[in-house]
Amino acid sequence: MKRKSKRRVFVGMSGGVDSSVAAVLLQKEGYDVTGVFMKVWQPDFLDCTWREERRDALRVAAHLGITLLTWDFEREYKEGVADYMIREYKAGRTPNPDVMCNKEVKFGAFFRRAMKEGADVVATGHYAQVARGDRGQTRNERGRTRKEAEGYRMLKGVDDAKDQSYFLWTLGQEQLSRTLFPVGEFKKSQVRALAKKFGLPTAEKKDSQGLCFMGQLDVKDFLAHFIEEKEGSVVNEKGENIGTHRGAYFYTLGERHGFTVTQKTTDDAPYYVVAKDLERNTVTVAHRLLKESLSCARKSVEFSHANFCGGVAPHVGASYTACVRYHGERYKCRIDAIAEKGFSLTFAKPVVVAPGQSVVLYDGDECMGGGVAE
């Protein structure tokens, strides 16, 4: 009798502890594991870190006895993530480059090439989970064929402090049916413990911070290399000049950092950006005890570029929760309308939502999908 071959999985290995543990868990489950390090574009004014990260990924691959491939996605990252981010800020909007990194690189270029190279499934170290459409099925079932995977859903990770489903709202049935998130069913402390248990070289490595693949950076400093800085006035809601800023392009609604207030008052409460005028190059700020009480907060919002992970749109008139930023508060909302590529909703209370922001819908632990605020 012919022995059934192992299912082949390509694991995106960044050199961090999460993707390292993902690889070893799949190996322990009997998968034929191939590691892939994704090399992407980095600007020449930032410290080059990819060689060091790749070295860590190689050390893990050697420890596990698996192959590590290096795939170059510089063009996809530059055009789909960096250029998109710069273009959106120039238009006065607030993009989320991490969302686009997942869409264009990890579950775009990497996913497509892995399938072309013969992978049955791909895997990453994201803190999220995949479940079958039947709500009675066990979470995180692995390695289904596309036909078996009809109705797959995305769930938040078990660890609320590390959940990354917000960044994955652009994934659809094609990706979910052939994607594994092995660490999504664990808390971060458990992942660290597993890394030590299996003797992984990355067990003590600190978590990466900041922008996808670029790490910790000041967004305004990054943008200043591509958008000319032009000092402008910070004004209050009466139109009085109270300070300066680096350029209206660089700021987003609700932000409270990065500008200078020279006209101090006896009220030491923080100032928040409530409006910006690109033509006049002014930024308007205001005091509020709660950011949601700012004048720029709104209850009704329309969205473009909608995607619903489970392949089915939410019900019009139904209530869900929405997250407008990573690890932000979940706001109660009602779906007002669904269009071909968009939707509209009403929040239970006014919320600061800047044009260009990703807003992600949840039904309990399920990430329904999301859209880009207009």
Return the CA Rg of the chain: 22
- List, for residues 12-55, the tens digit of each pLDDT value: 999 999 999 999 999 999 999 999 999 999 888 887 788 999 99
β 241-245/179-180 pair status: unpaired
> Distances from the Cα of 206 to the Cαs of 18, 161, 192, 256, in angstroms?
11, 16, 10, 28
Tokens of 311: 């392949």
**pLDDT at position 213, please?**
63
Tokens of 137: 């099925």
**pLDDT at position 135, please?**
44
- CATH annotation of 228-293: 2.30.30.280
**pLDDT at position 250, please?**
94
- List, for residues 213-257, the tens digit of each pLDDT value: 666 678 888 999 999 999 999 999 899 999 999 999 999 999 998
Tell me the catalytic residues.
101, 212
pLDDT below 70 — which residues of the chain? 1-5, 133-150, 209-211, 213-216, 267, 289
CATH architecture of 298-373: Beta Barrel (2.40)
**pLDDT at position 1, please?**
36
- CATH annotation of 8-197: 3.40.50.620
| Residue 69, helix vs strand vs coil | strand
Kindly list the domain boundaries of the chain, sorted by start residue: 8-197, 228-293, 298-373
**pLDDT at position 207, please?**
84
**pLDDT at position 251, please?**
95
